């Protein structure tokens, strides 16, 4: 916090009005009345404003000089919000019995690891753009609701926009998560992350950390947390609710389920994709329903989970598998009409160990590239096939050209997404040396990257 005159003015104003951060208040200015919760400003924010979180979820800044009065409505937030039992999701979700009321002393413990991204960024008022700046602590302080869900230990692991995240960062994050799990102190781990590549990182953690005793929930925001329309608060609240109250472990991504500020979807780490550049509900589960939907304290779990590979929360720290290594020498090539087949040769020249071909339709590529594929396979490069369609699974036995690709040694990856396939191949080569073992692992279901049934909306 700054210590200039304006800041002192705000403290005095609070003292005089007998209010504090977290209180619900009514503020009268010269020309309006606002009702909301007083929340902290970010470290570098304009010191002439206080920040009020409206009931709509939007934050507004009110110029201190314009304030005529502040009246307290209620002290802080009621810690016992009852789930709305009338709320019904589609019938493929069943209600989890999680209506526990924790007292402050019994609150579960969460580790909040910050890696950067919009969720921990702020507007640069000089340029109007967004810069990575906020720490996990500042974020935690800004959302007073979190304090009634869990005791949260924030830590900064990285401070990167997620387009700059690389496989070595996945290793770093995986090791940090594993250490915090092994400390035995936590009931869940939250990883705040930029949304651009959050689905790549969630896949990476799904392979690097197996047999998890507690849930790991990645969370991001599409609008920075000091913007009025920020989705950061609700996403974090949803992530923390799931991480403390779900009976399942595993790696998940928690983001808005719809554009309204009501329901958070918790997606399976290997089956999620960022499908919109800017909407708050940008993340979609691919070929499955979201694993869970969260509204306030109310958790619904997809009935589909019985088809999937999930284990319940447990105390077996020693059975956790930690394999945090990744090998970057894997390429993902998206095929298209006019694709220069020499791109395949170039990946061979670069010494890459595998190529994920993102083919068309059921997993096809122009027959003119067959000789380059053959050459790569002969040189020991493993070629996997996924589909740029995103939904559905590869099918190389349907058409004669697909069967030709199988004969060349191309390995189809069914309904694994291209992004998950890339990450899994990088993980396989980071942990296994035998080609046979890589192929066996790539085609086995490790973390729900394959699903038997395909269900889409």
User: Please, which of residues 310-349 interact with a second copy by CB under 8 A?
Assistant: 326, 328, 330-340, 342-343, 346
Q: Cβ 333 to a second copy, closest distance in Å?
A: 8
Among 65, 129, 184, 380, binds a second copy (CB under 8 A): 129
> Of residues 185-204, which lie at the interface with a second copy (CB under 8 A)?
194-197, 200-201
Strand, helix or coil at 243? helix
**Residue 237 sits in the site that holds a second copy (CB under 8 A):** no
- Mention every residue, 6+ apart, whose C-beta is less than 8 A from residue 289: 92, 93, 302, 304, 455, 457
Among 128, 315, 434, 436, binds a second copy (CB under 8 A): 128
Residue of 115, 118, 270, 417 marked catalytic? 118
For residue 315, indicate whether it is catalytic. no
**Residue 360 sits in the site that holds a second copy (CB under 8 A):** yes
**Residue 365 sits in the site that holds a second copy (CB under 8 A):** yes
Strand, helix or coil at 136? helix
Q: Which stretch binds a second copy (CB under 8 A): 56-64, 86-94, 97-105, 358-366?
A: 358-366
For residue 244, indicate whether it is catalytic. no
Among 144, 419, 438, 451, binds a second copy (CB under 8 A): 419
**Residue 449 sits in the site that holds a second copy (CB under 8 A):** no
Q: Closest Cα partner for 226 from 26, 7, 49?
A: 49
CA 230, CA 361: separation in Å to the nearest integer? 37
> Of residues 73-102, which lie at the interface with a second copy (CB under 8 A)?
none
Q: Closest Cα partner for 416 from 269, 277, 303, 293?
A: 269
> Of residues 147-186, which lie at the interface with a second copy (CB under 8 A)?
161-167, 169-170
Site residue total, a second copy (CB under 8 A): 77
**DSSP 8-state code for residue 353:** S
Find residue 153's DSSP bridge partners. 111
For residue 127, indicate whether it is catalytic. no
**Residue 363 sits in the site that holds a second copy (CB under 8 A):** yes
Which of 329-368 are b and which e, b meaning 16 or more Cβ less than 10 Å from the residue's Cβ?
bbbbbebeeebebeebbebbeeebbbbbbbbeebbbbeee
CA 95, CA 100: separation in Å to the nearest integer? 14
- Mention every residue, 6+ apart, whose C-beta is less than 8 A from residue 207: 270, 323, 423, 424, 427, 446, 447
For residue 23, indicate whether it is catalytic. no
Q: Closest Cα partner for 408 from 391, 385, 424?
A: 385
Among 31, 368, 433, 444, binds a second copy (CB under 8 A): 368
CA 62, CA 52: separation in Å to the nearest integer? 8
Q: Between 223 and 245, whose beta carbon lies closer to a second copy?
A: 223
Q: Which stretch binds a second copy (CB under 8 A): 14-22, 39-47, 77-85, 278-286?
A: 278-286
* Contact letters for a second copy, residues 392-411 (x by CB under 8 A): xxxx-xxxxxxx--------
Q: Which stretch binds a second copy (CB under 8 A): 40-48, 147-155, 354-362, 372-380?
A: 354-362
Q: Which stretch binds a second copy (CB under 8 A): 17-25, 90-98, 360-368, 440-448?
A: 360-368
The span from the first CA to the last CA of the chain, in angstroms, equals 47
Strand, helix or coil at 342? helix
Residues with active-site annotation: 118, 195-196, 274
């Amino acid at each position: 916090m700054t210590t200039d005159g304006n800041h002192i003015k705000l403290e005095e104003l609070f003292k005089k009005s007998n209010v504090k951060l977290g209180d619900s208040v009514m503020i009268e200015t010269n020309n309006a009345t606002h009702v909301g919760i007083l929340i902290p400003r970010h470290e570098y924010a304009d010191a002439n404003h206080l920040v009020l979180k409206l009931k709509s979820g939007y934050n507004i800044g009110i110029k201190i000089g314009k304030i005529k009065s502040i009246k307290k409505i209620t002290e802080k937030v009621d810690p016992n919000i009852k789930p709305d039992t009338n709320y019904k999701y589609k019938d493929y979700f069943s209600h989890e019995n999680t209506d526990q009321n924790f007292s402050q002393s019994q609150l579960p413990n969460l580790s909040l690891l910050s890696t950067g991204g919009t969720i921990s960024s702020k507007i640069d008022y000089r340029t109007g753009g967004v810069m990575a700046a906020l720490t996990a602590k500042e974020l935690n302080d800004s959302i007073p609701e979190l304090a009634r869900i869990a005791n949260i230990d924030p830590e900064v692991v990285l401070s990167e926009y997620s387009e700059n995240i690389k496989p070595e960062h996945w290793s770093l994050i995986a090791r940090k998560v594993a250490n915090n799990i092994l400390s035995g102190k936590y009931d869940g781990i939250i990883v705040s992350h930029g949304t651009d590549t959050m689905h790549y990182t969630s896949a990476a953690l799904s392979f690097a950390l197996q047999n998890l005793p507690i849930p790991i929930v990645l969370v991001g925001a599409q609008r920075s947390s000091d913007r009025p329309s920020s989705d950061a608060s609700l996403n974090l609240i949803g992530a923390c609710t799931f991480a403390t109250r779900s009976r399942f472990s595993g790696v998940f991504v928690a983001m808005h389920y719809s554009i309204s500020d009501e329901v958070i979807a918790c997606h399976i780490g290997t089956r999620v994709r960022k499908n919109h550049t800017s909407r708050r509900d940008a993340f979609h589960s691919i070929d499955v329903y979201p694993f869970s939907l969260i509204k306030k304290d109310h958790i619904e779990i997809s009935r589909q989970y019985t088809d999937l590979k999930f284990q319940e929360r447990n105390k077996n720290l020693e059975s956790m598998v930690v394999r945090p290594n990744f090998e970057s020498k894997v390429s993902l090539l998206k095929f298209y009409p006019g694709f220069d087949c020499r791109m395949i040769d170039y990946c061979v020249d670069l010494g890459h160990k595998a190529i994920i071909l993102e083919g068309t339709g059921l997993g096809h590529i122009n027959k003119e590239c067959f000789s380059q594929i053959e050459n790569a396979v002969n040189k020991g490069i493993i070629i996997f096939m996924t589909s740029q369609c995103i939904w559905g699974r590869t099918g190389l036995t349907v058409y004669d050209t697909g069967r030709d690709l199988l004969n060349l040694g191309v390995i189809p990856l069914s309904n694994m997404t291209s992004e998950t396939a890339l990450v899994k191949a990088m993980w396989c080569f980071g942990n296994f040396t035998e080609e046979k073992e890589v192929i066996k692992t790539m085609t086995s279901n490790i973390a729900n990257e394959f699903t038997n049934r395909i269900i889409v909306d």
